[in-house]
Amino acid sequence: MDELIKVFHINWQLLIAQAVNFIIVMLVLMVYAVKPLMKLMEERSKKIDDGLKNAVIIEEQLKKTEVEKAKEIKKGRREAQVIIGQAEKDSEEIRRGKVEKTKKEAEKIVGDAKNEIVSERRKMISEVKSELVDLVMLASDKISNQTINAKQHEKLINDVLDELKTADIK
């Protein structure tokens, strides 16, 4: 071993001093560098774990939100279908009401026109009868002026009028 010390030029005092220096440097590094670094890495690890836990929670909430969103969309569509159906029913009811009102108005117009036609026809028949009576009276007056007396003349006119009334010209 002496030879080994001589060959490699090992100095025991220097080796012990270097070992003491090494231990002092290691202690200083452990206290001022390694412990703060370990503390920092533990905090960092804790933040990462918390972030992962929060990410899982957020992902679950996102899934729940998407499910709720899908439910709300379905609900909205159903409500929209109900509203559309109600609007169609209302429009159909309004259309039927207008058609019925139009039919009633048309029937009223047709009825009024028929009544007016009947009234005009009666008026025209009355006028024709009146003119016919005048013509009959004039003709009978000329024909029978010399042969029939006033009483017979009046009876003849009344008979003709009665025949016209019973004939009911249409």
Domain boundaries, the chain: 2-167
Global pTM reads 0.41
168 φ/ψ sector (left φ>0, alpha ψ -120 to 50, else beta)? left
- Kindly state the DSSP code that residue 148 receives in the 8-state scheme: S
Compute the Cα dihedral for 9, 14, 15, 16 and give only its sign.
positive
- Kindly state the DSSP code that residue 33 receives in the 8-state scheme: I
Judge residue 1's burial from the number of C-beta atoms within 10 Å of its C-beta, 0-12 exposed, 13-18 middle, 19 or more buried.
exposed
Per-residue pLDDT tens for 60-118? 999 999 999 999 999 999 999 999 999 999 999 999 999 999 999 999 999 999 999 99
What's the half-sphere exposure (Cβ side, CA atoms, 13 Å) at 29? 6
Judge residue 132's burial from the number of C-beta atoms within 10 Å of its C-beta, 0-12 exposed, 13-18 middle, 19 or more buried.
middle
Q: How confident is the model at residue 125 (pLDDT cuts 50, 70, 90)?
A: confident
Per-residue pLDDT tens for 143-161? 665 566 677 777 877 887 7
